[in-house]
Structures are given as structure tokens and as C-alpha cells.
């Protein structure tokens, strides 16, 4: 498959700077693109790669002014235009035919809506309900009385335990465990005794959960992942946590029990959040931060986390300590101390 630059410009309503008959046969990043491929430029920090790219053409913004050898397609959103071209050149998506594979185990009381696909060795327990066009991947487990909405994609080897509630258009990647017991114990007569975890997990529409992430069921009530939340791989979400709409969490983060997280929060990789605190809407938390108190709004970083400007100032102070000690020694030497 190939497209001319003129076709690409017309497709996105862009302005072409270059040969309109030039054929484009693929798409790649600035650093990896070869002749005949198109790339994109949307961030000034990649200007070095732009100057060295071997791409035949580049999607750029309308006000682009950098002199380059590659042809230009000027569009309002270079990133989105590039994404659409990648989809055109990409292999066709894998299609899972509706139906139940002979090796799957589906209880007779489970309710499967239209065009559901149950892949090999999956297990669907009694009372489960699965909505239209949902795919249950090979080796996955759907527990008793669990409800899964329409157009979900549950990848292979996902465990969704009993009475979980999953909305529509939810994506859960391999190895994720939804609804494992929360980490609840109490010391009785000198021994740790398990506290029964009787609640559920509720995952709303348009949520995506990464590989090997765990979302624990509530002690009572619900652990609640609200609409549009995106969670990376290897994330731990403890019992009774609430994560607000359109929040994003990067890999290896951990949230302790009963934390309330607001909407549109950005959580970097390896962030740790202690239990029973609140994080307000529109808060950004830098990677490897430790959150030990209620915070709301703005950017926070370090452990324990402080506002970003304060964290940068503290780092600057620490890095100047060596020179400060050296000056103090010189002063003590002159004073005969």
C-alpha cells in the first residue's frame, strides 16, 4: 500500500510543502524512519532528531519554520495525523469470531449477549453476565455473578473474581487480577486474623487496566475505578480506593486502602500513596513521590511530596552542600578552630 503526499495532505486538510507525487509507503518515528516513510514533529525537544531524520516527509504544525530537507505536510495536529496514517499502514486488527470455544467452561446459568467471544480454556462461573461484542481471552476467569458490559476486551489470563462490576468498552490486559481480597488483618490474641473482605470492585465505562495490575475488592462497599481512568502495568490498588474520572496512573505505583483520588489526576511511575487520604482534582504527582497527607491541585514531587517548586529548591540546596562545607572548613581554618 502507498499514498502520495497530495493524498495525505487532502486526507487531513493540510498544506503540502514538497513533491505532491511522492509516494509514502510507511510511517515511523523521526529516529527510525527510512526513505519512503512519513514521520511527525510536535515537540521542540526532538528538533535534533528532526534535522537528522531520513523520513521523506514529516507532519508539522501550520507555523513550522525549521529548515529541513524532508517534505512537509502542515496540519493542525501532527500527532493525530500521524496516528491515523500509522493505522492505515498497520496490519489488519486481529478479529475474534463470536462464539464459545469447545475447550471453554461456561456455566449454563451464565448470560451471554449477542456476538460474545469466549476463547480457549476460559472459565465463566454461574450467574455471570457478559454484554454484546465482548471478548473473553484464552485462559481468563470470570467469577460468580460478575457483570461485564458491552464491547469489552479481556485479554488472556485475566482473573475477574466474584461479583465484580465491569462497565462497557473496558480493556483489561493479561495478568491483571480484579477483585482479589484486600489486605486486611487484625491482631487477636497475639496472632494476625484475617478480616473478611465482603465488598466488590466496580470499574466504569472506558477504563483501561494494564498487565499484571491488581485491583482489590473492598472490605465492604466498593473499590471504584471511575469512567475513563487509564492504569498502567504493575499497579497496586488496595481495598476501598476510589479513583476519579479520567485519572492516569503510570507503572509500579501503589495506592493503600481507602484513598480518595479526584478527577484528571496524573500519577507518575513508582508513586506510593498511604491510606485514608485524599488527592484533589487536577493534581499532578511526579515519579517516585511519596504521598503522606491530603494534597490538591498543582504539581507535587519528592518523598514526602512537596509542591514542585519547593522540591526543586530543596534539591538545589542539597547539591550546594559540598561547596558550603568546604567554605566552612576554610573559615574554621582561618579562625583557628
pLDDT at 335: 87
User: What cell does 96 get?
Assistant: 475474534
* Structural domain spans, the chain: 3-89, 99-311
Residues 6+ apart with CB under 8 A from 194: 184, 185
The pLDDT, as a whole number, for residue 306 is: 95
Question: What pLDDT score was predicted for residue 332?
Answer: 87
Q: Please identify which residue in the block is written with the cell numbers 503522606.
A: 292
Per-residue confidence (pLDDT) for residue 93, from 0 to 100: 87
What would the CATH number be for the domain defined by 3-89? 3.40.1390.10
Contacts of 191 by beta carbon, 8 Å cutoff, 6+ apart: none
Helices 321-335 & 308-319 angle (0-180, nearest 10): 40
Residue among 167, 252, 164 nearest 153 (CA): 167
pLDDT of residue 165: 98
- pTM for this predicted structure: 0.86
What pLDDT tens digit does each residue of the chain (337 aa) get?
A: 789 999 999 999 999 999 999 999 999 999 999 999 999 999 989 999 999 999 999 999 999 988 899 999 999 999 999 999 999 888 888 999 999 999 999 999 999 999 999 999 999 999 999 999 999 999 999 999 999 999 999 999 999 999 999 999 999 999 999 999 999 999 999 999 999 999 999 999 999 999 999 999 999 999 999 999 999 999 999 999 999 999 999 999 999 999 999 999 999 999 999 999 999 999 999 999 999 999 999 999 999 999 999 999 998 998 999 998 899 988 888 888 7
Q: What is the pLDDT of residue 212?
A: 98
CATH superfamily of 99-311: Hexapeptide repeat proteins (2.160.10.10)
Cell of 10: 487532502
How far apart are alpha carbons 219 and 196 in whole angstroms? 7
Question: Within its chain, how far is the Cα of 337 from the centroid?
Answer: 58
> Residue 198 is placed in which grid cell?
465482603
The three cell numbers of residue 211 are 498487565
Nearest to 219 by CA among 192, 255, 257: 257
DSSP code for 334: H
Active site residue 153: no
State which H helix or E strand residue 49 sits in.
helix 47-52
Amino acid at each position: 500500500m502507498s499514498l502520495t503526499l497530495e493524498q495525505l495532505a487532502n486526507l487531513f486538510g493540510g498544506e503540502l510543502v514538497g513533491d505532491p507525487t511522492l509516494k509514502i509507503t510507511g510511517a515511523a518515528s523521526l529516529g527510525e524512519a527510512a526513505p519512503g516513510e512519513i514521520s511527525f514533529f510536535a515537540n521542540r525537544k526532538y528538533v535534533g532528531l528532526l534535522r537528522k531524520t531520513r523520513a521523506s516527509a514529516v507532519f508539522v504544525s501550520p507555523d513550522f519554520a525549521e529548515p529541513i530537507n524532508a517534505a512537509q505536510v502542515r496540519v493542525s495536529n501532527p500527532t493525530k495525523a500521524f496516528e491515523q496514517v500509522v493505522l492505515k499502514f498497520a496490519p489488519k486488527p486481529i478479529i475474534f469470531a463470536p462464539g464459545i470455544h469447545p475447550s471453554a467452561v461456561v456455566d449454563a446459568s451464565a448470560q451471554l449477549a449477542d456476538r460474545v467471544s469466549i476463547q480457549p480454556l476460559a472459565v465463566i462461573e454461574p450467574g455471570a453476565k457478559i454484554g454484546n461484542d465482548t471478548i473473553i481471552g484464552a485462559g481468563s476467569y470470570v467469577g460468580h455473578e460478575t457483570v461485564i458490559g458491552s464491547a469489552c476486551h479481556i485479554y488472556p489470563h485475566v482473573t475477574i473474581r466474584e461479583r465484580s462490576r465491569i462497565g462497557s468498552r473496558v480493556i483489561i490486559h493479561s495478568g491483571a487480577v480484579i477483585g482479589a481480597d484486600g489486605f486486611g488483618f487484625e491482631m487477636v490474641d497475639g496472632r494476625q486474623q484475617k478480616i473478611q473482605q465482603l465488598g466488590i470492585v466496580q470499574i466504569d465505562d472506558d477504563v483501561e487496566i494494564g498487565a499484571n495490575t491488581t485491583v482489590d475488592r473492598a472490605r465492604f462497599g466498593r473499590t471504584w475505578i471511575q469512567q475513563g481512568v487509564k492504569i498502567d502495568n504493575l499497579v497496586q490498588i488496595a481495598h476501598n480506593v476510589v479513583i476519579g474520572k479520567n485519572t492516569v496512573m503510570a507503572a509500579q505505583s501503589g495506592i493503600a486502602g481507602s484513598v480518595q483520588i479526584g478527577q484528571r489526576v496524573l500519577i507518575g511511575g513508582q508513586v506510593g500513596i498511604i491510606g485514608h487520604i485524599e488527592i484533589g482534582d487536577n493534581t499532578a504527582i511526579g515519579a517516585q513521590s511519596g504521598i503522606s497527607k491530603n494534597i490538591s491541585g498543582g504539581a507535587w514531587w519528592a518523598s514526602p511530596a512537596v509542591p514542585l517548586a519547593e522540591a526543586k529548591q530543596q534539591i538545589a540546596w542539597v547539591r550546594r552542600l559540598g561547596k558550603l562545607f568546604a567554605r566552612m572548613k576554610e573559615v574554621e581554618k582561618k579562625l583557628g578552630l
